[in-house]
A and B are shown apart, each in its own frame.
Chain A
Amino acid sequence: MTAPPRPAPAPVRPAPPATGVPGPRHAAAVAEPLPPGKVRRSRAASRLRRLGAQRGTTPGRLRLLLAGLLALGLLTGTAAAVTAASAASATDRLRDNAQPLLLEAETVFSALADADATAAQAFLTGGLEPADLTQRFDDDLERAATALTSAARRTPAEGGAGVAIQTLNGGLSRYAALVATARANNRQGLPVGASFLATASQLNRDQLQPGAEQLLRLAQREVADGYGDATAPGWSRVLTVLIVVLLAALVAVQVQVSRISRRTFNVPLVAATGVTLLLAATMAFVFTLQRDHLAGTAADGSRPIALLAEARLLALRERGDEALTLVSRSGGTGQYETDFDTAATRMREVLGDAAAATRGTSAAQMVETARDRHTAYATAHAQVRKLDQDGSYDEAVNLAVGKGTTSTFSAVTGSLDSALTDRREAFADQIGSAGRGLGVLTVFAPLLALALCVLAGLGIRARLEEYR
């Protein structure tokens, strides 16, 4: 980079007499003696005055203009680099931190809900616990524990999410111990096994699931914030202002220079303007692309994922409520059946929203299957309730835990699972594209800014030479 031609360290350059604008060729520094009283000024004040004095002469003015352009150019370059870097890192955070945390929170929640439903079903079956239910329960606990471990890695130990994870970790082992005791008692034919199961279920529903829900909400907020941060809104505003000011300055300088030099174009300055426009266009292009991909990520990824996750939780909740209503043998007057109805109503809404959110995507068919199977499950549930209400408790239990209803229900969660997997892939694709170009921009933008500084320097130095 060529150093800007600095003003010669002349002792004092007083302002010329304000009689008319001096022509470019006649502007010569005319020294005039200072009034004696003003000699003892502080250095800062004299510097300021010196700077002010520059405005009076043409080369001085050119130097000032150049200094201004260089400062603006360097600022713009820095701001562009910072904007790109901040957007890139926020996009990475969204991809590597917020969205995975949301999935983990959802996994913990659904594993807990599934464990609760499974334990209740195993209890309902009576006698020896079926091996597949034991397996499923153990898998649930393992899934919850694994997801908690990796969620803990993504969150600081202090703060809401960290505390929620610690509480869940502690509660999970207590829950597992209670269910193990329930099993041991059941095997000995002791009814206290049922009480251990009830205590475990209460722990699960009153403490663990709310904890998981809290974690889920925090993660969800982080995702929403992540989308906001990913576009680096603050920095892009600063950058926009800088680019506009820089362009205006370049135009103004060229008008000045062309007036001084009586030439319409100063080629290096025109080139500098072109480079600035290129910088603006590049930034705008990359950011528009990123914004499009982010919008796609939200519409095709995050939004359907949130809906499908909620649908899966609601389905498990329904299944758990059904089993617990039967376990409590309250004839359907209890709290669980009321809860079932609430969950089922919400489920229909959520599935409708999910269908709308996935329309035209590869997940649409899976959501349709889930909807269809859920309707079938709701019919089976109504049949279970009718049997129980009519006093055919055993038939009701057989229908609820029997093969038919179980496979209908598995089809609901199964198709929701595949839809979720599908949407996770869509999310990964889109957010990968959103981050593209930002890294290159971090290097490219300062280089462009540097180039425009050099061009501006060249353009103005050529004019300054004429005053040597």
Chain B
Amino acid sequence: MRRSPALAVTLTALLALTGCGSAAVSLPEISLPQAPPAATQAPAPAAASCNPKASLRPPDELPEPGKMPAGSYMRTIQDKGQLVVGTGQDTLLFSSRNPLTGAVEGFDVDLARLVAQAIFGDPDKIDIRVLGYADRVTAPQQGRVDLVAGTMTATCARWTQADFSSVYYQAAKRVLVSTNSGAQSLAGLAGAKVCAAQGSTSLQTIAAYKMPSVTALPLEAVARPTFGECLVALQRNEVAAISGDDAVLAGLAAQDPYTKVIGPRLSEEPYAIALSKKHPEFTRFVNAVLAKARADGTWQRTWTRWLGDLGPAPQPPAAEYKD
């Protein structure tokens, strides 16, 4: 018993030694927020049969710029001070960002400028909002933009979600491939990966395409956020072809001399400006602006400015109205 105090001290020291378990070090866990996921797209509602090219009849006279009738949506825009235009920024010739100036420009943007000119008397009062292909249809109805002008095809399915102006450009589906490709059309691309923008009508075309020969492998549809990213995929040999409207493909081919546009004009793609269903008076107003542009040669001049390399300006597509 003589040594018990010493023992007690030793035991205390030893307890310190083992420390009753390992050192409990609590380090903060690094918890960064998850990166935002890629946008998903809701399937388009089933199409009712209709004439997608027929729009609302415009008034005979446009109100004077800066004097929009009270209560109209044009007046709302005039009071806001800017026309909010939804479009893309990578469709060369129609609406693309000029890398040198940073400005978004093209045929579609110029049409939107005509609308701004008619409302404000100033074509520069536009505010460009770039929309993904997937949400172009819903953006006007949600009030995020006043109108969408961006190589957008009027279809019956889309008419259920938005109003469309009269047709301002008649495009058609074709195919872009590398110059060394032997394919003459989609039929020659059995089993190949074909790219189109997410939410575009072209993506549906690829998925629905039936090979003429029953033994041929079907096409594999590849969706990218934009057609520009489809060109990236083509240049990196990730896809064999891009299916899209000839207007869009012409813009892509202009950026890459090693590509060519092939195949017959697969389907009619009437381009029109998408608007909210809530303001029919604005749709009529835009139709009046377009009618004026067709009549006074502005359409041809704009065509020549952006698409002149494709040849002389054709006749503008005739407007059709359903009322």
**A: which residues have CB within 8 A of B?**
124-127, 178, 181, 185-187, 189-196, 198-199, 205-206, 209-210, 213, 216-217, 220, 223-224, 227-231, 233, 236-237, 239-240, 243-244, 247, 251, 273, 277, 280-281, 283-285, 287-288, 291, 294-295, 298, 302-303, 306-307, 309-310, 313-314, 317, 328-331, 333, 335-336, 338-339, 342-343, 346, 353, 391, 393-394, 397
A-B contact count (CB 8 A): 195
Top 5 A-B pairs, shortest CB-CB distance = A195-B228, A126-B102, A335-B36, A284-B13, A391-B127
Q: Let me know if B27 and A224 touch, CB within 8 A.
A: yes
20 contacts between A and B (CB under 8 A): A126-B99, A127-B101, A190-B99, A191-B89, A191-B92, A192-B90, A192-B92, A192-B231, A192-B255, A195-B228, A195-B232, A220-B30, A228-B22, A236-B19, A237-B18, A291-B16, A310-B32, A330-B130, A339-B36, A343-B33
B25 interfacial contact with A, CB 8 Å: yes
Interface bits B99-130 vs A (CB < 8 Å: 1, else 0) = 11110100000000000000000000001111
Chain B residues positioned under 8 Å from A186 (CB to CB): 99
From B25, B37, B144, B229, A199 is in contact (CB under 8 Å) with: B229
Q: Closest approach, in angstroms, between the C-beta of B174 and any C-beta of chain A?
A: 18
Decide yes or no whether B98 CB sits under 8 A from chain A. Answer: yes
B222 to nearest A CB, angstroms?
13
Interface of B is mostly: loop
Question: Cα distance A47–B55 when bound, in Å?
Answer: 112
Q: Bound complex: CA of A394 vs CA of B232, how far in Å?
A: 27
Query: Would you call B28 and A303 a contact (CB within 8 A)?
Result: yes
B6 within 8 A of A: yes
| A281 touching B19, Cβ below 8 Å | no
- Bound CA–CA A236/B100 (angstroms): 69
A192 with B232: CB separation less than 8 A: yes
Chain B residues near A199: list those with CB within 8 A. Answer: 229, 232
A298-B25 in contact given A194-B99, A220-B30, A391-B82 (Cβ < 8 Å): yes
Tell me which residues across on chain B come within 8 A of A206, comparing CB atoms. Answer: 35
Are B127 and A281 neighbours in the complex by a CB distance under 8 Å?
no
| Cβ proximity bits B33-48 to A, threshold 8 Å, 1 near / 0 not | 1011101000000000
**A191, A317, A328, A335, most chain B CB atoms within 10 A:** A191
Distance to closest chain B CB from A272 (angstroms): 12
- Whole-angstrom CA separation of A209 from B35 in the bound complex: 9
Tell whether A243 pairs with B10 under 8 Å between CB atoms, given A205-B35, A233-B18.
yes
Chain B residue numbers with a CB within 8 Å of A307 are 28
**Known contacts A237-B18, A331-B144, A346-B31, then 18 further A-B pairs from the complex at CB < 8 Å, ordered by chain A residue:** A125-B102, A126-B99, A191-B89, A191-B98, A192-B252, A195-B90, A217-B30, A230-B23, A251-B3, A281-B10, A284-B14, A285-B13, A287-B16, A288-B13, A298-B27, A307-B28, A329-B104, A393-B127
Question: In the assembly, what is the distance between CA of A247 and CA of B10, in Å?
Answer: 9
State whether A288 touches B17 (Cβ < 8 A). Answer: yes
| CB atoms of B25 and A240 under 8 A apart | no
**Docked pose: A372 CA to B19 CA in angstroms:** 41
Pairwise interchain contact B144-A288, C-beta atoms closer than 8 A: no
Contact A231 B30 (CB under 8 A): no
- Quick one: closest A residue to B144, CB to CB? A333
User: B255, A191: Cβ atoms under 8 Å?
Assistant: yes
Q: Which residue of the partner chain A has the closest CB to B21?
A: A233
Residues in A with CB closer than 8 Å to B3 are 251, 273
Give the CA-CA distance A110 to B106 in the complex, in Å: 38
- C-alpha spacing A283/B101, complex, angstroms: 72
A343 vs B35: C-alpha distance when bound (angstroms): 10
Task: Choose one: A231, A346, A391; the contact of B84 (CB below 8 Å).
Answer: A391
Q: A303 contacts B27, CB within 8 Å?
A: yes
Residues of B within 8 A of A303 (CB): 26-28
Residues on the A chain within 8 Å of B11, using CB: 244
The yes or no answer to B178 lying at the interface (CB within 8 A) is no
- B25 lies within 8 A of A126 (CB): no
CA distance A281 to B235 in the complex (A): 73
Contact call A213/B32, Cβ cutoff below 8 A: yes
CB distance from A255 to the nearest CB of B (A): 9
Contact partner of A291 (CB less than 8 A), chosen from B23, B29, B235, B256, is B23
Q: How far is the CB of B197 from chain A (nearest CB, A)?
A: 11
Q: Find chain B residues with CB under 8 A from A285 CB.
A: 13
B226 within 8 A of A: yes
Q: Chain A contacts of B29 at CB under 8 A?
A: 220
Question: What chain A residues lie within 8 Å of B18 (beta carbons)?
Answer: 233, 236-237, 240
How far is B38's CA from A297's CA once the two chains are assembled, in angstroms? 41
* Docked-complex contact A223 and B36, CB < 8 angstroms: no
Residues of chain B within 8 A of A346, CB atoms compared:
31-33
User: For the complex, what is the distance from the CA of A245 to the CA of B82, rounded to whole Å?
Assistant: 88
Residue in A126, A194, A277 whose CB lies within 8 Å of B228: A194
Q: Are the C-beta atoms of A198 and B226 separated by less than 8 Å? A: yes
Q: Return chain A residues, CB-CB under 8 Å to B256.
A: 192
- B144 CB → nearest A CB, Å: 6
In the complex, B66 has a CB within 8 A of chain A: no
Is there an interface contact between B255 and A224, defined as CB atoms closer than 8 Å? no
Contact B129–A233 (Cβ < 8 Å)? no
- Distance of A390 from chain B, by nearest CB (Å): 9
Question: Chain A residues near B206 (CB, 8 Å)?
Answer: none
- When distances are taken between beta carbons in the complex, the residues of chain A under 8 Å from B235 are 181, 192
